[in-house]
Amino acid sequence: MVHERRSDDRLLTFAHPGRKFDDALALEDIETGTLWSQPSGRAVDGPLTGSSLAVRPAVLTSFGEWVDAHPRTTYVRPQIDPRLPVHPTLLSRQDHLFDGGAMRSLVAVVGAGGERRAYSLAGRTTRHVQHDRLGGVAIAVIFASDPVLLAAFATAPGSPPLHQGILRDVAGALELLDPATGRRWAATSGHPIGGTHAALVPLPLFPIRTEDLDLHVPELGRGVKRRDRR
């Protein structure tokens, strides 16, 4: 289903808040915080409740079939709006992405410091924290299979860097622990736990199949293979 982004002369930017409405994933606009039904395009909670988004014609097909029929089509690569909130818990709705062979074909594309990098999920353990520097920023990419979680964070400006974070389950909730300083954060949000230290900064992240990298993020297509051989 495809809807227009404009409602009552207001152009809206949408994100997935990880919530459902009528058994379907909902949308949330970042301008007003209104919750929208994804199938109907109707605002169901928030300042714009009762408004509707116009439906636009769409067809579900393969990229190859579409280009054959419409060779002059302009292809738009996925873009990450830095204003969009990061909701890693959304992936708990998509456990099938991380089953068996599907996991071996996925990479996580992360953005920081004006750069992007892809991290392979093949061979990851049940809980894994990948530490790296990206665009001059120290980052941590988090993966857990039970419960499913995929997220990336950077430490706040002026805070000590996180070099050896450990992911652990505390009373059913995943925490990220810095054993060197004792700092703890909620792994889904980066919010601090039990202290006055700063929250972690969520980074743009999206999972994608390795074979689709050259199409969607061509500058990263070869980088994944090189990093996998380390």
How crowded is residue 34: how many other Cβ atoms within 10 Å of its Cβ?
A: 21
Q: Distance of CA 118 to CAs 13, 121, 213, Å?
A: 25, 10, 9
DSSP 185: E
| pLDDT value for 4 | 92
227 φ, ψ to 5°?
Answer: -70, -30
Per cent of the chain over pLDDT 90 is 11
Q: Per-residue pLDDT averaged across 9-33, rounded?
A: 80
Q: Which of 59-73, 130-144, 147-161 is predicted with the least confidence, judged by mean pLDDT?
A: 59-73
Tell me if 67 is assigned to some domain.
no
**Residue that has been written with the tokens 């439906």 in this structure:** 55
Same-domain check for residues 51 and 94: no
| Contact between residue 43 and residue 50 where contact means Cβ atoms under 8 Å apart | yes
**pTM given for the model:** 0.55
**Residue that has been written with the tokens 């029929």 in this structure:** 69
Q: How confident is the model at residue 56 (pLDDT cuts 50, 70, 90)?
A: confident
More confident residue, 219 or 27: 27
Q: Distance of CA 119 to CAs 1, 47, 201, 226, Å?
A: 31, 39, 19, 11
Same-domain check for residues 19 and 127: no
Q: Which residues contact 229 (CB under 8 A, 6 or more apart)?
A: none
Q: How far apart are CA 185 and CA 153, in angstroms?
A: 11
Query: What's the structural domain count of the chain?
Result: 2
Tell me if 63 is assigned to some domain.
no
Q: Which of 11-20, 30-39, 71-80, 167-176 is predicted with the least confidence, judged by mean pLDDT?
A: 71-80
Q: How confident is the model at residue 15 (pLDDT cuts 50, 70, 90)?
A: confident
Q: What value does the mean pLDDT of the chain take?
A: 76
pLDDT beyond 80 at 44: yes
Question: CA triplet 113, 157, 112: central angle to 5 degrees?
Answer: 15
- Domain of 111, CATH number, reads 2.102.10
pLDDT beyond 50 at 87: no
Same-domain check for residues 106 and 219: yes
| Contact between residue 44 and residue 33 where contact means Cβ atoms under 8 Å apart | no
Q: Distance of CA 20 to CAs 37, 50, 214, Å?
A: 8, 18, 32
152 φ, ψ to 5°?
Answer: -140, 140
State which of 14, 41, 56 marks the end of a domain.
56
pLDDT beyond 50 at 92: no
Tell me if 52 is assigned to some domain.
yes
Record the tokens describing residue 2, joined without a space: 């495809």
Tell me if 26 is assigned to some domain.
yes
- Give burial (CB, 10 Å; 0-12/13-18/19+) of 145: middle
Q: How confident is the model at residue 177 (pLDDT cuts 50, 70, 90)?
A: very high
Tell me if 66 is assigned to some domain.
no
Tell me if 81 is assigned to some domain.
no
More confident residue, 147 or 36: 36
Tell me if 29 is assigned to some domain.
yes
pLDDT beyond 80 at 122: no
| pLDDT value for 215 | 59
Tell me which residue range forms the domain holding 220: 88-226
Q: Per-residue pLDDT averaged across 3-25, rounded?
A: 81
Q: How confident is the model at residue 156 (pLDDT cuts 50, 70, 90)?
A: confident
DSSP 75: P
pLDDT beyond 80 at 11: yes
